[in-house]
């Protein structure tokens, strides 16, 4: 029997980040020498005190369902984090804990978007935003930022993209895939535009907050524009900053009404996120952050190395970033100079085949002509990968 799949699922593209990572794993399992620079996850182990807290939770029998939106202890830890790191005040009924940042975003989109609504997404964007928006029946409106604008959406671009159907604006800083951060002044300029459109909701994906090293301390739109507090939902999680990708804990802070709607949605879908992971997250948020600072120092060293070496490559241009663990080189020059290669998808394929280096094509992030390189891997791997890339591009 042929199963007739839903139109929603048929319209959905597979996640390119996950697909390239899986392909590299498969090739390696088949004995090929492939260095994977595709995975968006820290290569560090989860900090010891976090793992201990999880073990303790198991031993104490904290292995049953919890309330749908997160244990009170975790909500308090999240509230404490927002106060300490962001100067933002929230009450428990504004906090919602979900099964990863991805799940939190899904909940936000499903709680507010209707078919026919528009959601503005600056590109390069993280692969899943447009598909997640499309699943709700709403339309992603892509604003192309480009390397020339430092990959940041300007106030003018935002203004031009807004229509009477705009329901939501998606922001992400530090950005996946570019690593670029908006400045406080950038956010204030966007905030001035949004002040003229009071019905638009703002979602800010701060998942890379802890991994940043710019001249300015971390800032998001609601920190820069406190007037937007009532219509901004902050999305964050444990995965990147605490090397806890597999633990699947994300959270949101935002308007009570929206949080209540997401709680209803989650109550009818996944129920609570994993109990043990919630207890581990309490330890991570309330514990010593030296482990995070140590990781960030290493990411920054790798960033400097990778950006410098990429810029030496034939037909490659790469901006310095202020956070995350991705480089997003413009490879249009390389594409032009290699015979038989017409786009970034073919170039990524060529590099995996000829150089044994796996990266995600920029097209997946709404930016054809670029590649995303994750440097969440050892310096040794990076050196080897960059030697191979330099060779592959020079020999073209």
What residues make contact with ligand GLU under the rule CB under 6 A?
15, 17-18, 40-41, 102, 126-128, 176
Query: How do beta strands 35-36 and 357-358 pair?
Result: parallel
Using Cβ positions, the residue closest to ligand GLU within the complex turns out to be 40
**Could you tell me the smallest distance in angstroms from the CB atom of residue 28 to ligand GLU?**
17
Judged by beta carbon, residue 38 or residue 166, the one nearer ligand GLU is 38
Judged by beta carbon, residue 176 or residue 204, the one nearer ligand GLU is 176
Q: What are the two backbone dihedrals, phi and then psi, of residue 331, each rounded to the nearest 5 degrees? A: -115, 25
Beta bridge partners of 140: 119
**Could you tell me the smallest distance in angstroms from the CB atom of residue 176 to ligand GLU?**
5
Judged by beta carbon, residue 167 or residue 248, the one nearer ligand GLU is 248
**Could you tell me the smallest distance in angstroms from the CB atom of residue 386 to ligand GLU?**
20
Judged by beta carbon, residue 41 or residue 390, the one nearer ligand GLU is 41
* CA 232 to each of CA 84, 171, 174: distance values in angstroms, whole numbers, following the listed order: 19, 10, 17
- Cβ atoms of 75 and 92 within 8 Å: the answer is yes
Judged by beta carbon, residue 102 or residue 309, the one nearer ligand GLU is 102
Task: Measure the CA–CA gap between 319 and 311, rounded to whole angstroms.
Answer: 9
**Could you tell me the smallest distance in angstroms from the CB atom of residue 1 to ligand GLU?**
32
Instruction: Please tell me what DSSP assigns to residue 99.
Output: S
Residues 6+ apart with CB under 8 A from 271: 65, 68
Q: How many angstroms separate the first and last alpha carbons of the chain?
A: 49
CA dihedral sign, ordered 189, 81, 281, 66: negative
Task: Measure the CA–CA gap between 261 and 376, rounded to whole angstroms.
Answer: 36
Judged by beta carbon, residue 75 or residue 102, the one nearer ligand GLU is 102
Task: Measure the CA–CA gap between 252 and 281, rounded to whole angstroms.
Answer: 14
**Could you tell me the smallest distance in angstroms from the CB atom of residue 205 to ligand GLU?**
10
**Could you tell me the smallest distance in angstroms from the CB atom of residue 15 to ligand GLU?**
5
Task: Measure the CA–CA gap between 197 and 375, rounded to whole angstroms.
Answer: 39
Judged by beta carbon, residue 12 or residue 18, the one nearer ligand GLU is 18
Q: How many CB atoms lie within 10 A of CB 32?
A: 12
**Could you tell me the smallest distance in angstroms from the CB atom of residue 60 to ligand GLU?**
31
């Amino acid at each position: 029997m042929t199963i007739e799949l839903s139109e929603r699922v048929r319209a959905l593209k597979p996640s390119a980040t996950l697909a390239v990572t899986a392909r590299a794993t498969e090739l390696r399992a088949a004995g090929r020498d492939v260095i994977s620079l595709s995975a968006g996850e820290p290569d560090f182990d989860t900090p010891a005190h976090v793992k201990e807290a999880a073990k303790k939770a198991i031993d104490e029998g904290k292995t049953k369902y919890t309330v749908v939106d997160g244990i009170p202890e975790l909500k308090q830890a999240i509230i404490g984090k927002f106060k300490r790191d962001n100067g933002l005040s929230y009450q428990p009924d504004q906090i919602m804990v979900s099964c990863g940042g991805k799940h939190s975003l899904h909940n936000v989109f499903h709680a507010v978007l209707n078919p026919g609504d528009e959601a503005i997404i600056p590109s390069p964007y993280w692969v899943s935003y447009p598909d997640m928006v499309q699943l709700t029946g709403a339309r992603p409106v892509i604003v192309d930022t480009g390397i020339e604008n430092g990959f940041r959406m300007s106030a003018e671009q935002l203004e031009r993209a807004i229509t009477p159907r705009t329901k939501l604006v998606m922001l992400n800083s530090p950005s996946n895939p570019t690593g670029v951060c908006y400045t406080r002044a950038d956010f204030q300029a966007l905030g001035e535009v949004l002040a003229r459109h009071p019905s638009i909701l703002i979602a800010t994906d701060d998942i890379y907050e802890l991994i940043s090293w710019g001249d300015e301390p971390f800032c998001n739109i609601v920190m820069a524009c406190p007037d937007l507090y009532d219509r901004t939902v902050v999305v964050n999680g444990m995965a990147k900053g605490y090397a806890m990708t597999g633990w699947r804990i994300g959270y949101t802070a935002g308007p009570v009404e929206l949080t209540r709607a997401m709680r209803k949605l989650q109550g009818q879908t996944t129920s609570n996120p994993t109990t043990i992971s919630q207890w581990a997250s309490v330890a991570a948020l309330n514990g010593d952050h030296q482990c995070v600072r140590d990781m960030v120092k290493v990411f920054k060293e790798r960033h400097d190395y990778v950006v410098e070496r990429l810029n030496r490559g034939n037909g490659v241009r790469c901006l310095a970033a202020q956070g995350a663990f991705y480089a997003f080189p413009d490879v249009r020059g390389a594409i032009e100079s290699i015979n038989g290669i017409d786009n970034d998808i073919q170039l990524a394929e060529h590099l995996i085949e000829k150089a044994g280096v796996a990266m995600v094509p920029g097209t997946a992030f709404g930016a054809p002509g670029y590649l995303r390189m994750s440097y969440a891997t050892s310096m040794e791997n990076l050196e080897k990968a960059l030697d191979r890339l330099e060779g592959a591009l020079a020999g073209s």
